[in-house]
């Protein structure tokens, strides 16, 4: 088989950066599964599963689900056969502990990351976007208060994940401002797709 090397991508970016939208477009274009841990968590809560019961309180408060639980969830998901040809992670890793665990897991599975993409957007614009999203969507974690907490959690726990990847020279930081199409072009260019 010839074919290109699998794209194994991590998407990083603060809440409100448009990460979810870009992740859907990019995974569709690349033909790889879009793995959104936020969506997985919301689905678990809705289905009333055991996992859902364990994570609900964290989602409702805009706090992070504990690392060990998230790492187990992602280990299961990446073991599925649809990830063999690549994957796009959206919302994981969210802490440096998760990033280290992901490196360990992927090296065990012999499928290291090919790209780490961060979407950078200034904080005042993020707050504005979060407010608007809170008004228009019914997401329980999208009230302005919870959204502000999510942003705070981001700066405290998730921003260091970018530094973790910058330190190992794997980070590709892109400007997240502009239209959906503009940002998508930047991402496609960085991935060569
Ligand atoms: P998201 O849609 O990615 O913003 O995720 C929604 C919520 O799911 C977050 O506020 C967390 O409570 C939880 N969550 C999603 N991904 C993670 C993760 N990698 N680590 C911890 N909690 C997470």
User: 43: closest CA among 25, 28, 55?
Assistant: 55
How far is residue 193's CA from residue 63's CA, in Å, rounded to a whole number?
A: 35
Give CA separation, 67 vs 12, 33, 64, 103, 106, in Å. Answer: 17, 22, 8, 14, 17
Are 71 and 98 within 8 A, CB to CB? Answer: yes
Query: Considering Cα of 191, then 177, then 134, then 145, what sign does the dihedral take?
Result: positive
Distance CA 149, CA 147 (A): 5
From the CA of 65, how far away is ligand 1's center (Å)?
7
> How many CB atoms within 10 Å of residue 122?
10
Query: Tokens 């992740």 map to which residue?
Result: 23
Distance 151 CA to ligand 1 centre (A): 12
Q: Exactly one of 133, 149, 166, 186 is catalytic; which is it?
A: 133
Q: Which of 45, 34, 106 is nearest to 71 (CA)?
A: 106
Q: State the Cα–Cα distance between residues 23 and 92, nearest whole angstrom.
A: 12
Q: Is 133 a catalytic residue?
A: yes
Q: Going by C-beta distance under 8 Å and a sequence separation of 6 or more, which residues neighbour residue 93?
A: 10, 99, 101, 102, 161
- Report DSSP state, residue 48: T
What pLDDT does 72 receive? 97
Residue 37 has which token pair?
Answer: 């841990």
The upper half-sphere exposure of residue 66, i.e. CA atoms within 13 Å in the direction of its Cβ, equals 7
For every one of its 193 residues, what pLDDT tens digit does the chain have, with 9 covering 90 and above? 556 899 999 999 998 899 999 999 999 999 999 999 999 999 999 999 999 999 999 999 889 999 999 999 999 999 999 999 999 999 999 999 999 999 999 999 999 999 999 999 998 898 887 777 777 766 655 577 888 888 899 999 999 999 999 999 999 999 999 999 999 999 999 999 9
Q: What is the pLDDT of residue 3?
A: 66
Give the distance (Å) from ligand 1 centre to CA of residue 141. Answer: 10
Instruction: Tell me which of 64, 66, 77, 148 to substitute to probe ligand 1's pocket, judged by most ligand atoms within 8 Å of the beta carbon.
Output: 64
Index of the ligand 1 atom closest to the CA of residue 153:
10
Whether residue 19 lies in the annotated active site: yes
- Give residue ranges with CB within 6 A of ligand 1: 15, 37-38, 41, 58-59, 62-65, 70, 91-94, 98, 141, 150
């Amino acid at each position: 088989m010839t074919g290109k090397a699998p794209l194994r991508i991590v998407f990083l970016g603060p809440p409100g950066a448009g990460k979810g939208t870009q992740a859907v477009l990019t995974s569709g274009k690349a033909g790889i599964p879009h793995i959104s841990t936020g969506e997985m968590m919301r689905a678990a809560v809705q289905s009333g599963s055991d996992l859902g019961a364990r994570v609900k309180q964290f989602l409702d408060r805009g706090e992070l689900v504990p690392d060990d639980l998230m790492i187990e969830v992602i280990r299961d998901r990446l073991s599925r056969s649809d990830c063999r040809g690549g994957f796009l992670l959206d919302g994981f890793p969210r802490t440096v502990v998760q990033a280290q665990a992901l490196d360990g897991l992927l090296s065990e599975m012999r499928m290291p990351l090919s790209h780490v993409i961060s979407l950078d957007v200034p904080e005042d614009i993020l707050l504005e976007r979060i407010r608007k999203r809170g008004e228009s969507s019914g997401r329980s974690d999208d009230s302005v208060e919870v959204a502000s907490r999510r942003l705070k959690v981001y700066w405290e726990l998730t921003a260091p994940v970018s530094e973790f990847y910058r330190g190992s020279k794997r980070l590709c930081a892109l400007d997240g401002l502009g239209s959906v199409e503009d940002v998508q072009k930047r991402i496609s260019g960085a991935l060569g797709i």
